[in-house]
A and B are shown apart, each in its own frame.
Chain A
Amino acid sequence: MFTDFNLKVIEPTELVDTARTLKAEGYRMVQICATRIPDAYELTYSFDKDLELHHYRVILPEGKEIQSITDSYFAAFVYENEIKDLFGINITHIALDFQGGFFVTNEPTPWKDSK
């Protein structure tokens, strides 16, 4: 079992190219996780190759938007819509964009102002 957390922090502008490169190298997208931190969001993109995980992290300042990686990994639409619905992060160019209606929530973007 792997016990390391292979993490690389990248700029928001590097994300789409990074995803394209990883796709070309045969990486599988595993998940995207958003975490609320003071005045920003931490977006962690996880990829797998040969059963080893690699994580790429983007620190996205509050109010900024970020581009979708669905042109490389169509399956990312599930996570990107979830993040959009729960955290209110504006993710642009999602291949299948539910415009904030993927999840049914009692209030809009319930995890936006966490903590």
Chain B
Amino acid sequence: MAKQTIIPFGPQHPVLPEPIHLDLVLEDEKVVQAIPSIGFIHRGLEKLVEKKEYTELMYVTERICGICAFGHNWGYCHAIEILLNVEVPERAEYLRVMWHEMSRVHSHLLWLGLLADAFGFESLFMHCWRLREGILDLFEKTTGGRVIFSVNKIGGVHRDVSPEMLLEISTVIAGMKKEYDELAKVFIEDVSVKNRTVGVGKVSKEDAAALCAVGPTARGSGVPFDIRSTGHSIYGKLGFEPIVEEGGDCYARALVRVKEVYQSMEMIQKIIAEMPEGEISVNVKGKPEGEFMARVEQPRGESCYYVKGNGTKNLERMRVRTPTNINVPFLVSALAGCELADVPVIVLSIDPCISCTER
């Protein structure tokens, strides 16, 4: 057996804006094992159910993460709505899905930029993030916030979007799509992108399924799992089909996200075209009793929101299981056998969100 060396990777590393640590066991330049450590900034948000009322937790859940804040809020909201037997107005469901898919576009553009940055393609990184700003501007115009929106409420949404604003969103998305065509072409065809991603961090379909991976991470290995396939909210009306790639490497995971940006843009246009008239919220009475687990397909994958109510204003338990939580075992598998130089790209390829994980 060759001599083994252990190299610590993180918790502070140029490709990681947030802390995760890996002990990389190397034989020469090859990684034979990766042992993860998380929990450097665990916030214990779930514990706040003892002090905060279930309505106040709305503001806590959207602070789990600064990228997919809307989805966390929506998932929690949906779980409470089930316990209170609340039927959300159709227009509110359309608005929720529109904002959620806009969140996916901005999250994937952010990730594509980070991937480009990880292998030194600085101009591509800047273009991705420049394009992303357009989505953040739309968030600001429609919700008042660029990161935290506070637009959901139990029973619907706080804000409506005017027909003029819907037209503006449609126009901005259409213009953005033209610019995105050029960026997508680079991610799909450029030789320097392929050199750093094709065949790197490969995980088979069987292994990805066995490791319970979720999101574009799983779909990049051919596992067609996507919570939107249940047709919940209005996804059934939108004719949603998951995007799947079979490669199982970093390139396949990138391709899934590149194509999902197009898919989300199309869904947003369809939502705007079919937006029904009507109320955006209903009055909610009562205190949550019973238990339920809601699931939302966040940009990084399936997120779970378990709530247990006892008929009082305080829940007995709230549990959030985020996509990065469950994709850590996949990452460990993807790193085994790779070259040391590929570690940053592989780590990024699961789109790790430690803020979510350290809820």
Contact = CB atoms under 8 A, between A and B. Distances in A.
Given A51-B229, A55-B293, A77 B329 contact: yes
Interface residues of B, number: 40
A102 interface: yes
Nearest to A7: B291
A102 B39 contact: yes
Interface stretch (B117-125, B209-217, B270-278): B209-217
A28 B82 CA distance: 24
Interface stretch (B148-156, B248-256, B320-328, B334-342): B320-328
B227 A33 contact: no
Contacts of A33: 306, 317, 319, 321
Contacts of B27: none
B145 to A, nearest CB: 26
A115 B225 CA distance: 38
A5 B329 contact: no
Contact of A74 (B291, B316, B329): B329
Interface string A22-49: 0000001111010100000000101000
Interface stretch (B42-50, B103-111, B130-138, B171-179): B42-50
Nearest to B357: A78
A5 B290 contact: yes
A73 interface: yes
Nearest to A74: B329
Nearest to B78: A1
Interface residues of A, number: 35
B308 interface: yes
A51 B227 contact: yes
B329 A78 contact: yes
B38 to A, nearest CB: 7
A31 B35 contact: no
Interface stretch (A13-21, A58-66, A103-111): A103-111
Interface in A49-91: 51, 53, 55, 73-75, 77-79, 82, 85
Interface in B281-304: 290-293, 295, 302, 304
A31 B321 contact: yes
B13 interface: no
A30 B39 contact: no
A33 B210 CA distance: 20
B325 A78 contact: yes
Contacts of A73: 212
B211 A75 contact: yes
B129 to A, nearest CB: 31
A66 to B, nearest CB: 18
A98 B306 contact: no
B276 to A, nearest CB: 18
B339 to A, nearest CB: 23
A98 B325 CA distance: 16
Contacts of A9: none
B308 to A, nearest CB: 7
B329 A1 contact: no
Given A28-B225, A31-B319, A75-B330, 16 more contacts: A1-B230, A3-B292, A5-B292, A28-B212, A30-B304, A30-B321, A35-B316, A35-B317, A53-B293, A53-B295, A55-B293, A75-B329, A78-B328, A104-B39, A104-B42, A111-B44
7 contacts: A29-B212, A31-B326, A33-B317, A46-B306, A53-B295, A102-B37, A110-B47
Interface of B: 35, 37-40, 42, 44, 47, 50, 78, 82, 209-212, 225, 227, 229-233, 290-293, 295, 302, 304, 306, 308, 316-317, 319, 321, 325-326, 328-330
Interface of A: 1-3, 5, 7, 28-31, 33, 35, 44, 46, 51, 53, 55, 73-75, 77-79, 82, 85, 96, 98, 101-105, 110-111, 114-115
